[in-house]
Structure 1
Amino acid sequence: MVAPRMRVIIDNDFSGDPDDLFQLVHHVLSPSVEIPFVIGSHLSPTDPFDSSDVQAENAVRIARETLALLGREDDYPVLLGSNVALTSLDTPIRSEAAEAIVAEAMRDDTDLPLYVALGAGFTELASAFLIEPRIADRLTAIWIGGNEHEGLAEPPSGADQVEYNLNIDILAGQVVFNHSSIPVWQVPRNMYRQCLVSYAELEERVRPMGRIGAYMVEAIERVTGMAGRHGFEMGETYALGDSPLVLLTALQSAFQPDSSSSFHVTVPTPTVELDGSYTPNASGRPLRVYTQVDVRLMFEDLFLKLAAFHRANPAL
């Protein structure tokens, strides 16, 4: 029996790109992590995935729906984040989720290290820090997002100037990067774009795995269908870019626990500008930037856990 080695708060924009559903399911099926709660976060305004003004509320609903398909809806509280981004560098949004991050970080009844696994923007974590700055010494943020770093990678052809997740709440990114001392492990755009699965893999190793497998693949099919209606053919792969959140937590090494099968460099944390670019800051605190992730371990573990879950729960 595998016992939890860490606490992982899951914070994601579940009404957006369905890669977050794969991350949520994979984390829930990973016994080495204790999940205190899940946060439903907002997207950018008018995002094509969800252009409503209740994106966080929709994210909560979808996360609960996903957990219900696993029969785990009563095991994990799903908390509401803010529906909007920060409007100030020094004023938090006191959402249910931000307050819960503070409470979890300030616990003194557990020695399990705390990670905040962020597959979206920084609104809730930045607000939590503004509410209680002491949390910076009591957790590690793992973030899927941000532009490429000069000297490490080039942006893809036609890339948006501001990376998708950073653009959700640039002010919150500035709070975390520029004004806090929170340790950050960053999986920037060039890295999460490498997390590709083929549709052949999804058909063989995800769809047949009961209701949850079909649900996950159908969520991707809705995206490819929407793209096709707009004249964009997506080929035969899909990026499950939030999955490194599982790899870098649940799948750490046994001895000297760390994400030892993936590579990173440590650089001074740059200053995040309002246009999403970085300005070098030689005195910035150490920032862990991933330069290679173990895609084999990450996806093979997902597929095998889904298969084991389906064998154990054939009615689900």
Structure 2
Amino acid sequence: MIWSRRGAVGAGIAAALATGARLSAAAPRMIPQKVGARVIVDNDFAGDPDGLVALAHQLLAPRSHVVLVTSSFLSSEFKDPAKIEGQTARQGYDIALETISRLKLPHPVPVVGGAEGPVSPTREPSVAAYAIVAEAMRDHSLPLIFTCGGPLTNLAEALRQEPKIATRMKVIWIGGGGYPDGGWEYNLAMDAEAAREVIERSKVPLWQVPQPAYRQMGYSIAEMAADLRPISPFTEWLYDRFTTPPDFVELGGVWPMGDSPLVLLSAITSETSQSHEIPARRIGKDLRYGEAIPGRTIRVFDVLDARTTHADFLARLRLHSAAKVK
């Protein structure tokens, strides 16, 4: 072999090109995001599919680690023949399991069925209530957040079973009428006594997202068809959950993703939304807010960052789909 300066330079270039090829084939460097909290996801999954959107988003968010999923019941006023009265928490359990299965996650997520009706002093607490207590009492370095997009029944039963859990978690709840008056709102009306248990009789830290705030989370139906549906087989399945709304629902140009603030506030950021701390107030029989509760405060959200929430969800789905293709 004849060695020359030109040959040495050529060999160096070839080596550099080979090294560059190996580096380009390696995974790109990503902005690091550490897990900041454990999360329990509680929702009436058999109802409005926005709960499934929030569940999928929470599972894909790197800032939170979902340690438990619990299902709650639906109102008997839902006349959907696919909904079996007295078994809607069980049906919610089933569809939560299916959602998780279709996402094809690398780790298992425990799912537990909740109560099939409002809190009752004579009924044995649900399996979900026992699971919530067990997770809250578990020693762990990460703080625990309980996110709820339906009635507060499962949490209220857990608090009655073990009041100590109030100091071991934070609660983010989608529910209640707007301040200062309050009034009828679905999640509150489904189990007002559960809300009283959580707000009036416990000291658990509470972030409340009332109706006027969560209604800001409208998601363009055109965007759902153009941007969400085509991403993957999972998003096609998820989109199809929205194509058979109840007969009494008359849609305009948006679908209200009212449960998505749970993910925004627990796994993305609360800093781009607006909230204020107020004295907690009692809940009247008419679901209006009454007198202040001495020594009890809650944080109420007024303005939510819908743009970041929806954009983050789409991006997480694309990244997840791309990772599955490789």
Do both proteins adopt the same fold according to a TM-score greater than 0.5, normalized to the shorter chain?
yes
Structure 1: where are the runs of 5+ without partners? 156-160, 253-258
Aligned to 2:21: none
Letter in 2 for 1:208: P
Evaluate the alpha carbon distance shift between residue 207 and residue 310 of structure 1 in structure 2; reply closer, same or farther with a 3 A threshold. Answer: same
Q: Tell me, yes or no, if the aligned pair for 1:174 and 1:273 is still in contact at 8 Å.
A: no
* Pair 1:96 & 2:107 matched: no
Aligned to 2:290: 279
CA distance in 1, matches of 2:108, 2:117: 27
Q: Tell me, yes or no, if the aligned pair for 2:282 and 2:293 is still in contact at 8 Å.
A: no
Cα displacement string for residues 245-298 of structure 1 (whole angstroms, at most 9, x for unaligned residues): 00001113xxxxxx1111101100000123211103152511100011111111
CA distance in 2, matches of 1:185, 1:77: 25
* Pair 1:126 & 2:191 matched: no
Q: Which has the larger radius of gyration?
A: 2
CA distance in 2, matches of 1:82, 1:233: 30
Letter in 1 for 2:291: P
Aligned to 1:214: 236
Aligned to 2:263: 246
* Pair 1:195 & 2:217 matched: yes
* Pair 1:20 & 2:51 matched: yes
CA distance in 2, matches of 1:289, 1:133: 23
Letter in 1 for 2:164: R
CA distance in 2, matches of 1:185, 1:64: 27
> By how many angstroms is 1:57 displaced?
0.3
Aligned to 1:63: 96
* Pair 1:299 & 2:310 matched: yes
Cα displacement string for residues 141-176 of structure 1 (whole angstroms, at most 9, x for unaligned residues): 10000011127xxx8xxxxx5200011111111111
Aligned to 1:52: 85
Cα displacement string for residues 75-125 of structure 1 (whole angstroms, at most 9, x for unaligned residues): 10110111111134xx674211111111111112x1211100000011110
TM-score, normalized by length of structure 1? 0.88
TM-score, normalized by length of structure 2? 0.85
CA distance in 2, matches of 1:47, 1:137: 36
CA distance in 2, matches of 1:169, 1:74: 33
Evaluate the alpha carbon distance shift between residue 209 and residue 146 of structure 1 in structure 2; reply closer, same or farther with a 3 A threshold. Answer: same
Structure showing the higher helix proportion among its residues: 2
The 3-state SS of whatever aligns with 1:310 is helix
* Pair 1:9 & 2:31 matched: no
Superposition CA RMSD, Å:
1.8
CA distance in 2, matches of 1:218, 1:53: 25
Matched-pair identity in %: 36
* Pair 1:78 & 2:111 matched: yes
Evaluate the alpha carbon distance shift between residue 170 and residue 282 of structure 1 in structure 2; reply closer, same or farther with a 3 A threshold. Answer: closer
Cα displacement string for residues 30-51 of structure 1 (whole angstroms, at most 9, x for unaligned residues): 1111111100111223334535
CA distance in 1, matches of 2:38, 2:289: 30
The 3-state SS of whatever aligns with 1:65 is helix
Aligned to 1:169: 191
Task: State which of 172, 193, 200 in structure 2 corresponds to 1:142.
Answer: 172
Evaluate the alpha carbon distance shift between residue 244 and residue 96 of structure 1 in structure 2; reply closer, same or farther with a 3 A threshold. Answer: same
Letter in 2 for 1:244: P
Q: Tell me, yes or no, if the aligned pair for 2:200 and 2:293 is still in contact at 8 Å.
A: no
The 3-state SS of whatever aligns with 1:197 is strand
Q: Tell me, yes or no, if the aligned pair for 1:177 and 1:269 is still in contact at 8 Å.
A: yes
Task: State which of 272, 281, 287 in structure 2 corresponds to 1:270.
Answer: 281
> By how many angstroms is 1:233 displaced?
3.5
For this pair of structures, how many residues does the alignment match?
A: 293
Structure 2: where are the runs of 5+ without partners? 1-31
Letter in 1 for 2:244: R
Task: State which of 243, 254, 258 in structure 2 corresponds to 1:237.
Answer: 254
Letter in 2 for 1:42: F
CA distance in 1, matches of 2:86, 2:118: 11
* Pair 1:288 & 2:310 matched: no
Q: Tell me, yes or no, if the aligned pair for 1:140 and 1:182 is still in contact at 8 Å.
A: yes
